Amino acid sequence: MSYTGPETEPPRRSPLRRPLTVALAALVPGALLGWGVYAAVGDEGTRADSAQASPAASGEHAPAGSASPDASPSPSPSGTPDASTAPSAHASPSASAPAATGPLKGKVVVIDPGHNPGNSRHTAEINRTVDIGTHRKECDTTGTSTNDGYAEAAFTLDVAHRLRALLEEQGVTVRLTHDGDRPFGPCVDERARIGNEAHADAALSIHADGSGSGNRGFHVILPGSVREGAADTRAIVAPSAELGERIAGNFVRVTGSAPANYLGGGTGLVTRTDLGGLNLSTVPKVFIECGNMRDATDASLLTSGSWRQKAAEGMSEGIVSFLRGS
């Protein structure tokens, strides 16, 4: 995600943010130690294909210190990710059937898969601007891709499906902002509106970054306090920070991935006030950049079906912890 340019601003530390190690204390005392072991021995289940994150989260991000690609290319045969552990697709394109049973029955979660595989074919439509409260911004962006051509939009949909299946096992009603069922978008303002109209108990926008090689790790983006135009995040800042910390802590524990080494001060948490998907949300919401698609090491994780399953599990356990309040 880019932090430079005419319509972005440098990330700021949230006054509510605690260091990730503090957030992890109650969740996983040995998480970072476990990551060290993981990094030393490697992930035998990952592929060598490279994978990276989107430079435009929900049409709102670009790689840190690098330009966003003009489009997210479709995966080439050599860049096709391992889908061996992908869950079967649901019949409904954007909303799951209400869960019959489970400890979290009655809870609603909105999952926002960043970008859309069709965005690159609809550049005029996604380049039109929409009001995000603080200013106007592009409807959406194409997202980034790995050097081997695995598109961020394909990555986010795959992880969203895995996450949906896990949450539904807990009885959660899950809604997706899209499921590859529309030619482009939705725009960033509509993505926020879907969560608002669902009265979601939590919302998560899934992405992967497109920063420079050598920049590794994940980070969770929290909403800053905004009150301007149509945007007023004051009521969701605190619960969103709690949601983000729980997701980050569980993501470390389950995937073994470390917080980003290029932003967030090693906490894995970044606060922003220039993203429409957060500015216009009235429900607790965060973004997660799962890794850097332009770094070969991170890309090998992002293109691995087994690692994507772990990523979904980490997100799910963070969301479930938030919903339970424990």
1, 58 contact by CB (below 8 A): no
Q: Reduce the secondary structure of 121-176 to three states and give it as a string.
A: HCHHHHHCEEECCCCEEECCCCCCECCCCCEHHHHHHHHHHHHHHHHHHCCCEEEE
80, 150 contact by CB (below 8 A): yes
Residue 27's Cβ-side half-sphere holds a number of Cα atoms within 13 Å equal to: 27
Residues 6+ apart with CB under 8 A from 191: 58, 112, 177, 205, 276, 277
Q: Is the N-terminal amide bond of 186 cis, ω within 30° of 0?
A: yes
Place of tokens 């073994």: 256
- For helices 237-255 and 31-41, angle between their N-to-C axes, nearest 10 degrees: 40
Q: What is the DSSP letter of 88?
A: P
155, 240 contact by CB (below 8 A): no
Q: Is 289 a catalytic residue?
A: yes
286, 240 contact by CB (below 8 A): yes
Place of tokens 């001060």: 265
Catalytic annotation, pick one of 168, 289, 313, 317: 289
Token pair for 168 = 């539904």
Distance CA 188, CA 7 (A): 14
Q: What is the DSSP letter of 18?
A: P
Distance CA 304, CA 42 (A): 13
Active-site residues, by number, are 289
